[in-house]
Amino acid sequence: MNAIEVQSLKKAYNAETTILKDMDFTVKEGEFFAIVGPSGCGKSTLLRIIAGLEQVTDGTLIMNGQDATYRRPDERNISMVFQNYALFPHMTVAQNITFGLHVKKISKEEQKKRCMEAAELLGLQHLLERKPRELSGGQRQRVALGRAIASQAPICLMDEPLSNLDAKLRSKMRSEVRQIQRRLGMTMIYVTHDQIEAMTMADRMMVLNGGDIQQVGEPLHVYNHPENKFVATFIGSPPMNMIEATWHQQMLQITDEWQLKAVRTGQEKLYVGVRPEHIMHASGGKPSFIGKVEHVEILGTETLIMFSINGEQWIAKWAGQWNFEAGEMLPLKVDIEHLHLFDFETEKRVETAEVLMMEALV
């Protein structure tokens, strides 16, 4: 069953400013659904519409099988966790967790029970009498999450809840939030600009850009089969390397020395993309191309090698520790199955098998 269905949803503030354009997607019951994209793409606006804090311009929002397009926020049976925690500074942790339950006419005994259950789940039992100012950032975020858990709403909306935390704590909280969501079986919609969060936490993810849905799918499918050039370069760290390729007779010419047997598509150019981890050192074999080293970052367990190819800077990611000098020429190789092709005009994915022959020109 779908917890949320969005149908032809639009949001515009005026004729010149359209924030969301014809959005259609579903969120399944009990699913962790991440919405990811760059700043200003419409992620938070979409979440606020689902929460009832913004009105739609057009379209339909269905929640748990019922039309909720124009329902008030308190009629939607949701909880929400904000980026800034939204805790009351004059209240204790326990009071913050149970805030709002009395509005629903929950008895004091039931409020206390829910508070203790949420506190035990989040490791907050010893902090219930403290005020927010006495807590660390991670503890405050747990309190905000505890309030959402205590509400027992089937749908939880999270708007970049971990962005104020340091990297180590953010990693820990990612794991905790995901485990809690699985344990409670709640439907969670998680907005983030951090594609690593989306990749590691989500059952499915939706990539937004400029108010348009770019792709929806399981994280690994989105990573391995990006539907357009934007998704290819936005998802992945470091991002996918990209270069323009042109046809020369029956060859797809990527660089002066790197060309592949190909079937012409009717366009003069294609974009060719390669993930950094798929660029290999051509030791002992014929290289696809030669890269001139510009910079090397040795990260301990892996090394990032920045090099120039046809005036473009590319990055290779290799396991282990590699030390090269700037200006050094590296023989590099890419297997055909690791190439991604995109239409030059529409920037949409072109299936590699439809264009390239089975082996590179030797």
pLDDT recorded at residue 360: 44
Pairing of strands 32-36, 17-28: unpaired
For 299, other C-beta atoms within 10 Å of its C-beta total 9
State whether 201 and 261 are in the same domain: no
Total number of domains in the chain: 2
State whether 193 and 60 are in the same domain: yes
State whether 64 and 169 are in the same domain: yes
Contact 208, 195 (CB under 8 A): no
Do the domain assignments include residue 12?
A: yes
Say which DSSP state 311 is in: T
Do the domain assignments include residue 96?
A: yes
d(CA 203, CA 265): 35
Contact 239, 294 (CB under 8 A): no
pTM reported for the whole predicted model: 0.90
Instruction: Decide: helix, strand or coil at residue 48.
Output: helix
Backbone angles phi and psi of 352, in degrees to 5: -55, -40
pLDDT recorded at residue 361: 41
Contact 167, 161 (CB under 8 A): no
pLDDT recorded at residue 359: 52
Contact 161, 193 (CB under 8 A): no
Contact 24, 196 (CB under 8 A): no
Say which DSSP state 237 is in: S
State whether 326 and 270 are in the same domain: yes
State whether 60 and 118 are in the same domain: yes
State whether 23 and 100 are in the same domain: yes
Do the domain assignments include residue 233?
A: no
Do the domain assignments include residue 236?
A: no
Instruction: Decide: helix, strand or coil at residue 110.
Output: helix
State whether 106 and 246 are in the same domain: no
d(CA 193, CA 39): 7
Contact 195, 234 (CB under 8 A): yes
State whether 139 and 113 are in the same domain: yes
In order along its 362 residues, the chain shows pLDDT tens digits of 789 999 999 999 887 888 999 999 999 999 999 999 999 999 999 999 999 999 999 999 999 889 999 999 989 999 998 877 788 999 999 999 998 887 788 899 999 999 999 998 888 999 999 999 999 888 898 898 899 999 989 999 999 888 877 888 888 888 888 998 998 899 999 999 998 999 999 999 999 999 999 999 999 999 999 999 999 999 999 999 999 999 887 889 998 889 998 887 777 899 999 999 999 998 877 899 999 999 999 999 999 999 998 888 999 999 999 999 999 999 999 999 999 999 999 999 998 888 876 554 44
What CATH number is attached to the domain comprising 262? 2.40.50.140
Radius of gyration of the chain (CA): 25
Contact 64, 5 (CB under 8 A): no
Peptide bond into 238 cis (omega under 30): yes
Question: Which range marks the domain in which residue 82 is found?
Answer: 2-228
Q: From 199, 228, 257, give the residue that closes a domain.
A: 228
